[in-house]
Structure 1
Amino acid sequence: MRSRSLARPLLCAGLAVGIAAASAVPAAIAETPTGAAPTVQGQQAQNYLVLYRSGGKAAGASLSAIQASGGSVVADYSAIGVAVVSSSASNFPAKLRAADASVDAASATASFGVALKDDAADGPADQTVPASLAPGDDPLSGLQWDMTQIHAPEARAISGGSPSVVVGDIDTGLDWSHPDLAPNVDFAKSASCIGGVPNQDPAAWMDDYGHGTHTAGTIAAAKNGLGIVGVAPNVKLAGIKAGDASGFFFPEAVVCAFMWAADHGIAVTNNSYFGDPWLFNCKNDPQQRAIWEAERRAIRYAQSKGTLVVAAANNQADDLAHPTQDATSPDTTAPVVRDITNACAVVPAEVPGVVTVSAVGNLGLKSFFSSYGIGVVDVTAPGGDSVLQRTAAAPNGRVLSTWPASIGCSRAVYDSGAKYCYLQGTSMATPHVAGLAALLASTGANSGQIASRIANTADPIACPADVSIYSFFPALDGGTPQACTGGRAYNSFYGHGQINALRAIGG
């Protein structure tokens, strides 16, 4: 898995993290492959996702077949009929399927990660912004144009959410020592899922990449007289680490993350990553289908436990409702252009029941990079736009949020020693929606009611009268010009519209 953010050959960008250089016009999105080669006999073991046909068989029942095929069980998610198995055996999937007829598929995961690129690699030097220059709820609130745009300050005046509600940020972990996050971190419900097995050691789920700390701050940075304020500053945050220090998201970590969230009473998950090695995961391909189905089962299991899943639409400027070509996959080798259909989908954005979010900038237009699609996008939220939507309120076009002190950020802001960073991407949009969902969960609403309320109280936005403003950035898969379809009440760019936190909580 990976977080699909903006990345440019001459600029820089991110995971659901954003693009970089302010003055240049980005040309293409690039991701760094893991470089992992398929395992063969004699090489080190790698993990496989094993999918059982029954959808509920325990790997323990298949232990003899796994062992006979040269594997060992790493994690057994019997509730969804998925196991994580390690093996260095040659042709392990074929051997296992031959030994156990209940195995539907076994897919290697080691080469299925893609490094994230952040939006902080170039640009102006770090700066300290005195509190006197940024009045508001907290010292840097005056820099949070994104919160103003969705009426978060007015909503917070009514309710900041309940500490009994926990949002699981499935990401690169979070910096639990950051003073703007520390008051709200739920250590008991946080874990690392790297490798497919939960590890609750706080050192294991500490953010060593930065992206998870950024999304966490947008959701629930505390209102404590320091830095910024999140959408829901009173709710708790669970860091569920699925992305490692190199920015790789592997399928077994994502499955583990949803299972953890489901079994630990997490009301909402924020998700800013997409399935690899194929941007579009095709269900009619045996290997890709195994990944799609395992992750779909894990998401469905979380949903069945009452968890609302919120996900980013991605930054390819693709029309996800009408995919025709995938020009960026596979990520582990040189991309091969392939024709695709609606049998191919982006995970988790296109999994049924997921609330999928596109991005807008400070002018309320779809961000130039944001993907879109009728029947895919539910709502939109501020994700930034450094090319088309720089304004007095958003001079660099990006979104400010919390950042680990030990990790570099070329667009950093400090308050009392705490570090904050400007980024852009659909991943910056998604946590606004997750935070709003947490405010609604604090009222006792269930996941279905929350999703409906968010959509029904959004501010509708009509398709732009002139979409030629996006002509410099056609879809990165197929080169199709961006086009908006649908009416003001619902369309492919904005779904039901931009979220309105005040309206949503009844203000």
Structure 2
Amino acid sequence: MQKFFRIAAPIGVAALAASLFAAPAQALVPSGPAAGTGTAQTYLVLYKGNSVSGASLAAVRNAGGTVVQSYPQIGVAVVSSDHAGFGAALQSADASVQGAASTASFGVAAKEDATAGPAVAPVAPGAPAPGNDTLGALQWDMDQIQAPAARAVNGGSPSVVVGDIDTGLDYTHPDLAPNVDFAKSVSCVGGAPDQSPAAWMDDNGHGTHTAGTIAAAKNGIGMVGVAPNVKIAGIKAGNADGLFYPEAVVCAFMWAGSQGIQVTNNSYFADPWLFNCKNDPVQRSIWEAERRAIRFAQQNGTTVVAAQDNQADDLAHPTQDATSPDDTTPAVRDITNACAVVPTEVPGVIGVTASGNKGFKSFFSNYGSGTADVMAPGGDSVLQVTAAAPNGRVLSTYPAALISHCLRKVVDPSGATYCYLQGTSMAAPHVAGVAALVVSSGVSSPGAVAARITGTADPVACPPDTGIYSFFPALDNGAPQVCKGGAGYNSFSGHGALNALRAIGG
């Protein structure tokens, strides 16, 4: 099964862009304590209010820390320190600190800034993009959501930008190159933005795959994405190993919210904890920092779409986490509803479960009443192999340099490379693409976009026999998969199956 990136989040800092991240920054040289002798660690420092004062920055310096990036709009700073006990020392020295949580070791330059983002530009009307390209016959997933019919009406507007928060994207891929927005692409690995294209080039493959589903161009070769006329911004938050650390996730959403990006796709969970528990002081700081960053993006007009993950867990009734922390040695721990998966369980995020070609929930997909909003094609190589989907998986773009990593590859006659994968990672970008079409049709606010997507979904009842999933109980607690609810809303499919044509009013 294709893991949907636990690079916990499943999943170089040089030139900075304008707007939120543009003002020149000064390196903060630690003073006060003697130089640390431990291994440098990255910390998320969460402040009690939506500000980061000069006195607080001085307290960071005096406690032996260096500011990597400051986000005063949400009261969060990314800090590096090699001082043992830095977090506790900072909390003791600065009463405005709510929490300071170590995330991972990253050597990055010290940057800080705090400028308001630009106003969202008006959206130009979307243009039709009828027909398929050379690999259209392999795109069962697009047929399932009526994407070709929707594209024939509205293929999206080039004034709409989807930020793919992932492992970067291969901007040289011929099916993506026409739609890449270089001005709004960035690497956030390490917690500070770096716009040099080499920094946000995909070194994993996952991000290029999700990007193709969203916005592969209608250009006569390969495949066509859900919204082939929109622009795609690579927002690299996952490293080569697929880990999405909290500082990168915070940076990614702050970037999206400040750059006028209308939609983000999030096919990952924020590492290293699958479930972030708000009753744990360290994890609570991570949860709250990420929640604030997501809320910042939403308040600035960004619709946030997120995959539900691939462990067959009922996210509404979590009892055990056996797979965290995923960057070291996992340990079994009991959990409750005080623990949640980021970003899919953050309020206002559109949570996506996966389906296969037969139209019911994929065997691996997480689910849950109140967490699942809509179901979209993510593949199912066990229960839903058909003539249209002979390997059950979803085809999309993949970097040529990494194609040897793909077990089920396709090479277009033009030489462009594609790969079959499965996971809720593959489901979410279908929804993000439809969200881009909805925005292209004149709906702007995240709440209205979400309402349009869920309100036009095709009702899907619970499977008559959930015993078909008995071979794959929940990976974390071994519980059987149970569907609750009716055709109008249930824990497996949310409000139903994604329908692109209905979503745009076709």
Q: Secondary structure at the match of 1:80?
A: coil
Q: Secondary structure at the match of 1:167?
A: strand
Q: Is the 8 A contact 1:166 1:266 kept in 2?
A: yes
Q: Is the 8 A contact 2:380 2:422 kept in 1?
A: yes
Task: Map residues 107-256 of structure 1 onto 2, 5 A cutoff.
Answer: 107-110=101-104, 137-256=132-251
In structure 1, C-alpha distance between the alignment counterparts of 2:159 and 2:505, rounded to whole Å: 20
Aligned to 1:495: 494
Q: Is the 8 A contact 1:17 1:425 kept in 2?
A: no
Q: Secondary structure at the match of 2:73?
A: helix
In structure 1, C-alpha distance between the alignment counterparts of 2:45 and 2:134, rounded to whole Å: 50
Structure 1: unaligned runs, 5 residues or longer: 1-5, 7-12, 19-30, 33-39, 113-135
Q: Secondary structure at the match of 1:168?
A: strand
Equivalent residue in structure 2 for 1:438, among 436, 439, 451: 436
Aligned to 2:3: 14
In structure 1, C-alpha distance between the alignment counterparts of 2:484 and 2:36, rounded to whole Å: 52
Equivalent residue in structure 2 for 1:66, among 48, 60, 78: 60
Equivalent residue in structure 2 for 1:377, among 361, 372, 377: 372
Q: Does 1:353 align with 2:348?
A: yes
Structure 1 residues 181-239: Cα deviation after superposition (integer angstroms, max 9, x where no partner):
00000000110111111111111111111000000000000000010000000000000
Q: Is the 8 A contact 1:187 1:238 kept in 2?
A: yes
Q: Is the 8 A contact 1:16 1:424 kept in 2?
A: no
Q: Secondary structure at the match of 1:238?
A: strand
In structure 1, C-alpha distance between the alignment counterparts of 2:331 and 2:4, rounded to whole Å: 22
In structure 1, C-alpha distance between the alignment counterparts of 2:377 and 2:428, rounded to whole Å: 8
Q: CA deviation at 1:46?
A: 1.7
Q: CA deviation at 1:410?
A: 1.9
In structure 1, C-alpha distance between the alignment counterparts of 2:98 and 2:196, rounded to whole Å: 34
Q: Is the 8 A contact 1:196 1:256 kept in 2?
A: yes
Aligned to 1:338: 333
Distance 1:16 1:398, change over 3 A: farther
Q: CA deviation at 1:247?
A: 1.9
Q: Does 1:390 align with 2:385?
A: yes
Q: Is the 8 A contact 1:401 1:421 kept in 2?
A: yes
In structure 2, C-alpha distance between the alignment counterparts of 1:111 and 1:161, rounded to whole Å: 40
In structure 2, C-alpha distance between the alignment counterparts of 1:328 and 1:348, rounded to whole Å: 17
Aligned to 2:410: 413
Higher mean C-alpha deviation, range 440-449 or range 177-186 = 440-449
Structure 1 residues 405-452: Cα deviation after superposition (integer angstroms, max 9, x where no partner):
000212110111100000000000000000000000011202221110
Q: CA deviation at 1:41?
A: 4.8
Q: CA deviation at 1:59?
A: 5.2
Q: Secondary structure at the match of 1:401?
A: strand
Q: CA deviation at 1:16?
A: 4.7
Aligned to 2:460: 461
Q: Is the 8 A contact 1:268 1:310 kept in 2?
A: yes
Q: Secondary structure at the match of 1:195?
A: coil
TM-score using structure 1 length = 0.87
Corresponding letter in the other structure for 1:248: L
Number of residue pairs matched by the alignment: 455
Structure 2: unaligned runs, 5 residues or longer: 12-34, 107-130
Structure 1 residues 122-142: Cα deviation after superposition (integer angstroms, max 9, x where no partner):
xxxxxxxxxxxxxx6100011
Identity of aligned residues (%): 71
RMSD, matched Cα: 1.8
In structure 2, C-alpha distance between the alignment counterparts of 1:324 and 1:15, rounded to whole Å: 21
Corresponding letter in the other structure for 1:413: V
Q: CA deviation at 1:111?
A: 6.6
Distance 1:203 1:332, change over 3 A: closer
